Amino acid sequence: MREPLLASPIDPFAAAIYLLGGKWTLRVAAVLLAGPLRFTDIRSALPGLSANALTKRLRFLESACVVQVEWQGGIPLYGLSAWGSELSTPIFAIKDWSRSKARPRDVSSSSEDELNDA
């Protein structure tokens, strides 16, 4: 088995930011906290995420040992690895923080660039 990305000799915090900072990464991981899912189920849970972007994100997370693929009846199921499951604590902390601190705002009038810069 490959070593997780954070096992590299670089600064662990910088490696974590590199791993988790990608667009959709934490949202994909949050969906997978419920257990292994088919590609279409993950995509359905994340409106706005294209099939191409989800494929790239899952491949990246698999290469980083965060996601693992299991095959059932010829159908791939994507789930968090044991190491990836440890993301539950920071994901729930971010969800709690966002509920208590973040103010809802109308994002329909914001451009995607403005949201990405925020």
**Which residues are CB-contacts of 51 (< 8 A; sequence separation ≥ 6)?**
39, 43
pLDDT at 6 over 90: no
pLDDT at 10 over 50: yes
The tens digit of pLDDT for each residue in 38-80 reads: 999 999 999 999 999 999 999 999 999 999 999 999 999 999 9
| Bridge partner residues of 77 (DSSP) | 38, 70
Report residue 105 as tokens: 């705002």
3-state secondary structure of 24: coil
C-alpha distances in Å from residue 1, one per residue of 4, 62, 95: 9, 12, 31
Specify burial of residue 28 (Cβ count, 10 A radius: 0-12, 13-18, 19+): buried
